[in-house]
Chain A
Amino acid sequence: MATEVKLPELGEGVTEGELVKWLVKIGDTVKPDQPVCEVMTDKATVEVPTAVGGVVKELKFKLGDVIKVESTILTLDGAGSSASSAAPTHKEAPKAAAPAPTTAPSAPRSQPAAMPATMHEMMAQNSGIYPPVADSKVLATPSTRRLAREVGVDLNVMKGTGLAGRVTREDVLSQGGNGASTATSSNGSMKAPTFPVPSYQGPAGATEERVPLIGIRRKIAENMQMAKHIIPHFTLMDEAEVTELVSMRESLKDYAEKNGTKITYLPFVMKAMIASIRQFPMFNASIDDAAKEIVYKKYFNVGFAADTPQGLVVPVIKNADQKSLLELSYEIMDLSKRARDGKLKSDEMKGATITITNIGSVGGTYATPIINHPEVAILGMYKISDRLHLKADGSVGSQKVMNFTITADHRLIDGAVAANFLKAFIGKIQKPGLLMMEMR
């Protein structure tokens, strides 16, 4: 009798995790409490132990699959001895503040599955075949079943939108992109776009290395592809004379340091941007394609792109309009640090209404950023440089200049509107004193 080992609770509010590594293979003998795989959640990478021992018979998921809590991750043969508990062990010791996993399955989950022996045999033999064979109860036409197989969708865990729960071609296609074994689509009616899945074959004998596209990298890939697919992007570029801004920041440095933080240009840019959005509310909006409506947001959650060893992440400062420059500084420092350490909570990366990308701190004069869908705009800030300036009295002085871009969703924002927005923004960032007038 095969025993099913399920994905235990991974922590408060975490309903799923992505399989990043198997620690066992078929045929391995495992002991109770032995970690069997590593699963990445929004919070951390977690080792998942088995509650019971036995011989690994079947691995139910492949690397990169998103697994829902309580899904069977593997089956064991000859399972018997069980551990007293099987709580996932966090690889990085969770900080005191981080919620520890509250519930852990305390008993081995070895309820005998109610299926005929032949069925069991079949399932056992099917190891290595993915997706698993659709059960006869699954309602999908033969061609849909084949499509599901070809795009890697497991029909057994899909909820069909068709009559009597029929899985339609569209259902399969909308799941096809993510290859997740456990369907997690919450917006059942919203059809996600589908993308071609070309294969790549290098020249024979070429030195190449293949690594699975999983984890943050895959999330980035999916998000970028979707954003570029849905949003008609355009980017406007201009430069601002930021001599005053530079001197203002210089003058505030000491104060910030005394208060335990570092002041960068980002909080100023945020403030100037929010003030500009108040004049141009379409920059703080979303398009609800399914409902064919524009959603104007009356709150200002500003995402900022952070480069981390794992890849790009975008922490979000909630209600940035209501925070002081000092508060913004604190929060930016904190979020950046935890982004680098891979310790951001999932809700700290969600809910942005507009995003700022600050690639200028590395280099480059201008970029054409990609909008973080469902947002409709992204503001780019670039490096500050000095330039010669002919003053009114004919003498030559030096000025600080900084380049900015605004990239917008052309469905909602026309070119002229974006130009006026950028002009308004530059007007404010050039005269940071003006910002004080509107600050609350």
Chain B
Amino acid sequence: MAAQQFDTVVIGSGPGGYVAAIRAAQLGQKTAIIEREQLGGVCLNVGCIPSKAMISAAHFLHKAQHDAETMGIHFKDISVDYKQLLKWKTSVTEKMSGGVKQLLSGNTVTIIVGEAEFKSSKELSVKTATGTDIITAKNFIVATGSRPIEIPGFKFDEKEIMSSTGALAMDAAPKKLVVIGGGYIGLEIGGYLAKFGTEVTVVEAGPALLNGVVDPECAQVVARKLTKSGVKVLLNAKAKGQKKSGSGYEVTIEVGGKEETLKCDKILVTVGRKPNSDQSNLKAAGLQIDERGFIKVDAQRRTNVPNIFAIGDICGQPMLAHKASHEGVLVAEVISGKNRVYDAKTVPAVVFTDPEIASAGMMESECKAKGYNDLNIAKFPFGANGRAVSLLETDGFVKMIADAKTGILLGVHIVGPEASNLISEAVLAIEMGARVEDLALSIHPHPSLGETMMEAAEATIGHAIHIIQKPLSKSKEARV
């Protein structure tokens, strides 16, 4: 078969790759995208989207079981048809993946299903169902993502010893589950399984859940609620190994120098993800990989080989879908000759625990490291927000950090209902270089959870309305 030629070939169709392909095609590049599995990558198929479907269902169940009675609504015989739930979850991912296919086709992107390997910096070989295609292009975008990290002694079978992929595919909630790794993926999956009745034990090697990745106070709120809902959390605990025991497993852990065993039916290992840089024969293209396995890129996401770009998880932290998409657009435009760089001030992060955590900008420790020594920090609790009370979702707060000298907003950390939807305002504010007053003076609709943003901003200045603060005259009003 003759070599197919393109202007731009994208390898990987996750939220980085498919977005890059669409923008490249929009800009008139003859574009192809290569995907070895399903369009949409991990995010759409075995990551963000299906886990959110499961979390929504679990939340719904939890509300029906616990909050409905308070509101005077009584359900009889609530039961979970986990197989139907799984079907619905699959319909959600199929819908999204189908949407990606439509968008790619509509933008005249050639979709190639197969496994791509570099033969040189100008040429790929793609193993498809029917044979091997040779594909050449002026530019390549490597968007091949990451995969769950395996730890010694816990080889994934995705049935009983699972990564997130296996956990999302289970057709029933296990009775007892050990989650190794108290990061966001473990807590999201462990959290929703607990609501479906699984007895969950989280084994975290560090001193706290979500250690170092979110505001510690936010993490505390989630930890408290997890414990309250029956999830057992073991901190500073190392998983040493496992062995089959009856129909289940015994997991050996080490806490404070002592070994313990945990009995369970299934094991979920969520200790992180690693870039897929050992695949696609990147060496043949001459790409430089750093010691953590990320492809080295510059601010335009160009690799050391000028016609090859890398975006998303494969090129560095944070491994988040929205960062990948942003880079996808950026790179497609760079290829079209536009002067673009990655210069976003913040990548928001959201954790779909109960309650949700969302953050944008810097944590307090990061502000200090950046040289902001004089900070105004304030929190506004959801308990003081009318909408949160009427939702029966009063756990959590909005925390804002501002530079005391200029009033400029440096960080927003939310733990509470719809934190994931509330954070976008903070992202815009930070990108625009807003001062907290800008947020405080923008009229927020009542009653809404969004009011907490305005109030937290007011609290940062020193005079929120709906919590008791110092008199206005003595407050530390930010001045320029």
Contact = CB atoms under 8 A, between A and B. Distances in A.
Interface in A132-146: 133-134, 136-137, 139-142, 145-146
A126 interface: yes
A163 B480 contact: yes
A164 interface: yes
A368 B186 CA distance: 78
A126 B299 contact: yes
Interface in A90-128: 116, 122, 125-128
Nearest to A135: B343
B212 interface: no
Contacts of A133: 299, 341-343
B1 interface: no
B275 interface: no
Contact of B435 (A141, A150, A163): A163
B443 interface: no
Contact of B341 (A141, A149, A163, A165): A149
Of A122, A136, A140, chain B has the most CB atoms within 10 Å of the CB of A136
A128 B303 CA distance: 13
B444 interface: no
A165 B433 CA distance: 10
Given A136-B345, A142-B344, A149-B341, A129 B435 contact: no
A141 B432 CA distance: 4
B42 interface: no
A165 B405 CA distance: 12
A142 B369 CA distance: 24
B125 to A, nearest CB: 29
B228 interface: no
B433 A116 contact: no
Interface residues of B, dominant DSSP? loop
Contact of A164 (B300, B345, B408): B408
A149 B299 contact: no
Contacts of B342: 133
A131 to B, nearest CB: 9
Given A141-B433, A164-B480, A129 B300 contact: yes
B431 interface: yes
Nearest to A166: B433
Contact of B298 (A116, A126, A164): A126
B377 interface: no
Nearest to A134: B343
A136 B347 CA distance: 12
Given A140-B433, A141-B432, A166-B433, A129 B343 contact: no
Interface string A16-42: 000000000000000000000000000
B339 A150 contact: yes
Interface string A145-165: 110011000000000000111
B398 interface: no
B298 A145 contact: no
A122 B433 CA distance: 22
B433 A129 contact: no
B460 to A, nearest CB: 15
Question: Size band of the B side of the interface?
Answer: 20 to 34
B19 interface: no
A122 B299 contact: yes
B406 interface: yes
B296 interface: yes
A128 B408 CA distance: 32
Contacts of A122: 299
Contact of A129 (B296, B298, B407): B298
Interface string B122-136: 000000000000000
B328 to A, nearest CB: 16
Contact of A125 (B297, B339, B433, B480): B297
Nearest to A123: B299
A149 B433 contact: no
B340 interface: yes
Contacts of A128: 298
B370 interface: yes
Contact of B407 (A127, A145, A164): A164
A150 B334 CA distance: 12
Interface in B329-347: 338-345
Contacts of B344: 142
Contacts of B297: 125
A134 B299 CA distance: 11
Interface in A414-438: none
Interface in B429-463: 431-433, 435
Contact of A142 (B298, B408, B431): B431
A147 to B, nearest CB: 11
Given A137-B370, A139-B408, A164-B407, A129 B341 contact: yes
A141 B296 contact: no
Of B339, B370, B406, B431, chain A has the most CB atoms within 10 Å of the CB of B339
A-B pairs, top 3 by smallest CB distance, nearest first, are A139-B433, A164-B406, A125-B298
Interface of A: 116, 122, 125-129, 133-134, 136-137, 139-142, 145-146, 149-150, 163-166
27 contacts: A116-B369, A122-B299, A125-B298, A125-B299, A128-B298, A129-B298, A129-B300, A133-B299, A133-B342, A133-B343, A134-B343, A136-B370, A137-B370, A139-B433, A141-B431, A141-B433, A142-B344, A142-B432, A145-B343, A146-B340, A150-B338, A150-B339, A164-B406, A164-B408, A164-B433, A164-B480, A165-B406
Interface of B: 296-300, 338-345, 369-370, 406-408, 431-433, 435, 480
